[in-house]
Amino acid sequence: MYNVRTEHERKTVRMIFYPSLLTKQFGNAESQQTLLFKVPKMDHHPEHKDAPEQALADILAAKDLIELFLKMGKAQELNLASLRDRPNTLFEINGISLEGKLIAHLVDEARRGQGYAYAPYSHFNVGAAILAANRAGEQKVFSGCNVENAAYGSTICAERTATFKAVSEGFRKFHAYAVVGGFDQHVSKALRTNTQKSYITPCGSCRQVMNEFEASPCAVIMAKGTGEIYMTTLNYLLPSGFGPRALGVDAADYDGGYANQLAQKK
Binding site for ligand THU (CB under 6 A): 119, 122, 124, 126, 146, 148, 155, 157-159, 202-203, 206
In the complex, what is the shortest distance from the CB of residue 122 to ligand THU, in angstroms, rounded to a whole number?
Answer: 4
Cα 159 from Cα 84, distance rounded (Å): 24
Query: 92 catalytic, yes or no?
Result: no
In the complex, what is the shortest distance from the CB of residue 8 to ligand THU, in angstroms, rounded to a whole number?
Answer: 22
Closer residue to ligand THU, CB minimum distance, 12 or 163: 163
Determine the 3-state secondary structure of 219 from DSSP.
Answer: strand
**246, 217 in Cβ contact below 8 A?**
no
Closer residue to ligand THU, CB minimum distance, 59 or 179: 179
Cα 15 from Cα 17, distance rounded (Å): 5
Closer residue to ligand THU, CB minimum distance, 26 or 213: 213
Q: Please tell me which residue in 67, 159, 169, 228 is annotated as part of the active site.
A: 159
**130, 163 in Cβ contact below 8 A?**
yes
In the complex, what is the shortest distance from the CB of residue 174 to ligand THU, in angstroms, rounded to a whole number?
Answer: 15
Q: Is 132 exposed, middle or buried (0-12, 13-18, 19+ CB in 10 A)?
A: buried
Question: 26-59 burial, b for 16+ CB within 10 Å, e for fewer?
Answer: beeebbbebbeeebbebeeeeebeeeeeebeebb
**68, 230 in Cβ contact below 8 A?**
yes
Cα 115 from Cα 94, distance rounded (Å): 31
Closer residue to ligand THU, CB minimum distance, 22 or 209: 209
Closer residue to ligand THU, CB minimum distance, 59 or 131: 131
At a CB cut-off of 8 Å and minimum separation 6, what does 263 contact?
none
Considering only CA atoms, which of 240, 246, 223, 242 is closest in space to residue 108? Answer: 223
In the complex, what is the shortest distance from the CB of residue 75 to ligand THU, in angstroms, rounded to a whole number?
Answer: 17
In the complex, what is the shortest distance from the CB of residue 238 to ligand THU, in angstroms, rounded to a whole number?
Answer: 13
State the catalytic residues.
159
